[in-house]
Amino acid sequence: MALTDLPEEQLRAYRGGVREPADFDRFWADTIAESRECGWPVRAEPVPTGLATIDVLDVTFPGFAGQPVRAWLRLPRGAESPLPTVVQYAGYGGGRGHPLENLLWASAGFAHLQMDTRGQGAG
């Protein structure tokens, strides 16, 4: 049984009180511009896995203040791009795991970018 603070009827009607700050768009535009100006490009290096139908790339890109963020990019081998894509975030309870884990999406024909948590795991 799920644990909640309110009965289902009240949960369905609930609307939070947090409002978007006036400078929200400017903050994100500046933050993204800063990460792109950090001086190093996105890297995607093939990972030797021995898999016959999936390619795995070790992706690193600049995140907040240029800090490296890592991810596995799993692709169906030989697929034409663009592909439907799933981006998966694990949160602070986990990370991107091993390159041979979570092969479902790529096996089903999707590009699958499994993110590591910034400052955690391999990043």
Per-residue model confidence as pLDDT tens digits over 37-78: 888 889 999 999 999 999 999 999 888 888 888 999 999 999
Per-residue model confidence as pLDDT tens digits over 3-14: 778 888 998 999
Domain boundaries, the chain: 41-123
What whole-number distance in Å separates Cα of residue 73 and Cα of residue 94? 17
What whole-number distance in Å separates Cα of residue 113 and Cα of residue 86? 6
Closest alpha carbon to 39 in 64, 76, 66 = 66
What whole-number distance in Å separates Cα of residue 65 and Cα of residue 68? 9
Q: Which of 16-20, 82-86, 88-92 has the lowest mean pLDDT?
A: 88-92
